[in-house]
């Protein structure tokens, strides 16, 4: 496992926990920042994604795992109205546990693939036509990014539903929802 992968993983975990745990205002920044970070990470780490058949299947499989993890994390982050009527998210230990397990699991796998079960991973990669470490690394980045994006979408949908209109009729246009407002993420009074 490279230092870059370790730092990226710990950075994502720190960001997710620092911005998600506790009670937090549901505002435009809560959506734009994770999406921007995903875009930057994707542009840096997914420039040369291996494209053999096995690699594509690995990316799809781990990407789907990321979506499932994001759904679980999103469902563990409640969206509710604060006393002033604005929307907030509330996330606790179970939310943190999902992220620690997902990112920690990736780190343990990366370390184990190099030190504990390198032969098994190499055999698996050969059997399924994977392009080695590059395929695994980019697939795990895909998984992490899918998890972050899915959690953002789940939170947005839940916020939009609580705001009183179907999710497909809204656009992101402000910073908070207050009683009487018809759009999620409007600027607070």
Number of compact structural domains in the chain: 1
**Token pair belonging to 157:** 């949908």
Q: Is residue 189, in this structure, part of any structural domain at all? A: no
Q: Is residue 174, in this structure, part of any structural domain at all? A: no
CA dist., res. 171 & res. 78, Å (int) = 21
* Angle between helix 118-127 and helix 93-115 axes, rounded to 10 deg: 90
- Residue the block writes with tokens 């040369």: 48
Q: Is residue 180, in this structure, part of any structural domain at all? A: no
Q: Is residue 181, in this structure, part of any structural domain at all? A: no
What pLDDT, on the 0 to 100 scale, is given for residue 1? 61
Closest alpha carbon to 40 in 147, 185, 157, 141: 141
* pLDDT tens series, the chain, 189 aa: 677 778 888 888 998 899 999 999 998 888 899 999 889 988 887 877 777 788 889 999 999 999 999 999 999 999 999 999 899 999 999 999 999 999 999 889 888 888 899 889 888 888 888 877 778 888 888 998 999 999 999 999 999 998 875 444 444 444 444 444 444 444 443
**Token pair belonging to 129:** 């036509």
**Token pair belonging to 58:** 């690995």
Kindly report whether the global pTM for this prediction surpasses the value 0.75: yes
Q: Is residue 185, in this structure, part of any structural domain at all? A: no
Instruction: Provide the H-helix boundaries in the chain.
Output: 3-20, 29-45, 53-76, 93-115, 118-127, 133-162
Q: Is residue 159, in this structure, part of any structural domain at all? A: yes
What pLDDT, on the 0 to 100 scale, is given for residue 157? 93
Q: Is residue 67, in this structure, part of any structural domain at all? A: yes
- Parent domain of 125: 3-169
Q: Is residue 187, in this structure, part of any structural domain at all? A: no
Task: Name 35's Cβ contacts closer than 8 Å, sequence gap at least 6.
Answer: 149, 152
Angle, vertex CA 113, rays to CA 40 and CA 63, nearest 5: 40
What pLDDT, on the 0 to 100 scale, is given for residue 177? 46
87 neighbors 79 (Cβ within 8 angstroms):
yes
What pLDDT, on the 0 to 100 scale, is given for residue 165? 59
């Amino acid at each position: 496992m490279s230092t870059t992968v370790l730092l990226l993983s710990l950075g994502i975990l720190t960001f997710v926990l620092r911005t998600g745990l506790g009670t937090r205002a549901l505002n435009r920044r809560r959506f734009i920042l994770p999406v921007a970070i995903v875009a930057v990470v994707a542009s840096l780490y997914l420039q040369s994604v291996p494209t053999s058949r096995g690699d594509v299947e690995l990316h799809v499989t781990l990407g789907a795992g990321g979506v499932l993890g994001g759904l679980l994390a999103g469902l563990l982050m409640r969206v509710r109205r604060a006393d002033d009527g604005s929307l907030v998210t509330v996330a606790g230990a179970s939310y943190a546990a999902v992220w620690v397990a997902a990112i920690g699991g990736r780190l343990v796998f990366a370390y184990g693939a190099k030190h504990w079960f390198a032969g098994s991973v190499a055999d698996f990669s050969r059997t399924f036509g994977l392009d080695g470490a590059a395929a695994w690394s980019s697939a795990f980045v895909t998984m992490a990014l899918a998890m972050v994006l899915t959690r953002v979408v789940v939170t947005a949908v839940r916020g939009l539903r609580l705001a009183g209109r179907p999710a497909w009729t809204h656009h992101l246009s402000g910073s908070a929802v207050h009683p009487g407002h018809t759009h999620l993420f409007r600027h607070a009074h």
